[in-house]
Copies of this chain bind each other. A is one copy, B any other.
Amino acid sequence: MAKVIGLTCNANRFYSATASKVKARKYVLTKYFEGEPKKSDFQIVEEELPELKDGEILTEAEFLSVDPYMRAYMIGYKLPTDMIGGQVAKIIASRNKKFPEGKYVAGSFGWRTHTVCNPSVAPTIGFLPTTLLPDISPHPVSLGLGVLGMPGNTAHFGLKEICHAKPGETIAITGAAGAVGSHVGQIAKALGCRVIGFAGTDDKCQYLEKDLGFDKAYNYKTANIRNALKDGAPNQVDCYFDNVGGEISTTIMNYMNKYGRVAVCGSISSYNDMKLPKVTILQPAIVFKELKVEGFLVNRWIDRWDEGINANLKLLREGKLKYNEKIYHGFDNMVEALVGMLRGENTGKAIVKVK
């Protein structure tokens, strides 16, 4: 599970870029989600932005992120509230020398088109900082929402600090074709692990095996999970990177080796349910195999943020890290993108190109 990404900037002010004032459009959540998110749960509101103060920048969103955590987190906010989320935005005006006009930032600005903020001010606890994107050409800046952003760091730190994956070990990954899962598998391959993935379509499985180098990938909707594990993990499973929760997780944990490590990153299988589902009890496997099962939010490593970004950039430049993006188009289609991602339409990272 990724961390909360919300507004780190004060958006309730007005800005005059030049002569005319810049207007931002933003999503305000007015109803708690029930089942799948709906467009009618939101209002799109227009607001004028304030003049820039010293240290502040004005950004224009180019790519907005839709991530699984968004479905789970909003219940914790009092309504109405601005919708949370990460974005990659271009600096279109600046009174901060470290953040010059024309550069790109990744920021927790929420679902909005324009933002005024001071990127040098530490973010509210629980939120990610506003960071200048490194030069990643010839790759697109949208990677700041994917392999070089929050999902990338989730994969990096989750695998290294929670799974403690070692060369020669076998790792299983659910939600394997998603932004985080597909990334975890590639780091694990680079580490020298055997990697098996579970995803929701045959096409995704083929992508994982053929393009990303997973040793085996299985369609969890059609495969017998136990048989898949026997086939794909002849030495059983040492590490499990759990993005989905659900019954499949119990089955995998029952196929793990003694002292196995489970990184619980998300539980997407249950996010749309009004009441949490019941699954076969985990404790017997946890006891008898002496498993260590740990949940995490990536903001735990906020002080080491650049370490993760740089490690992933290195893998990218070495050709050991591939990426895929499912691009939705248009600021007005954020909800469709969120729902599409929750349904598993994406292979790799789901993002929205604002214009």
Residues of A within 8 A of B (CB): 1, 72, 242, 245-246, 249, 264-267, 270, 276-297, 300
Contact = CB atoms under 8 A, between A and B. Distances in A.
Nearest to A244: B283
Contacts of A245: 281, 283-284
Given A276-B281, A281-B246, A294 B288 contact: no
Contact of A270 (B284, B292, B296, B297): B284
Q: Which of A287, A288, A297 has the most CB of B within 10 A?
A: A287
Contact of A264 (B267, B270, B286, B296): B286
Contact of A267 (B287, B291, B297, B300): B287
A278 B276 contact: no
Contacts of A288: 1, 72, 295, 297
B290 A296 contact: yes
A295 B261 CA distance: 11
A286 B279 contact: no
A278 B296 CA distance: 24
A283 B270 contact: yes
Q: Which of A267, A277, A279, A282 has the most CB of B within 10 A?
A: A282
Contact of A296 (B1, B279, B287): B287
A297 B285 CA distance: 12
A249 B292 contact: no
Contacts of A281: 245-246, 267, 270, 276-279
Given A245-B281, A245-B283, A292 B294 contact: yes
A299 B283 CA distance: 18
B292 A292 contact: yes
Contact of A279 (B72, B264, B279): B279
Given A245-B281, A281-B279, A287 B265 contact: yes
A178 to B, nearest CB: 15
Q: Which of A264, A267, A270, A295 has the most CB of B within 10 A?
A: A295
A135 to B, nearest CB: 33
B283 A280 contact: no
Given A267-B283, A287-B1, A293 B296 contact: no
Given A245-B281, A289-B295, 19 more contacts: A1-B288, A72-B284, A72-B288, A246-B281, A246-B283, A264-B283, A264-B287, A266-B283, A267-B281, A267-B287, A270-B284, A279-B279, A279-B281, A286-B293, A286-B295, A288-B295, A290-B295, A291-B294, A293-B294
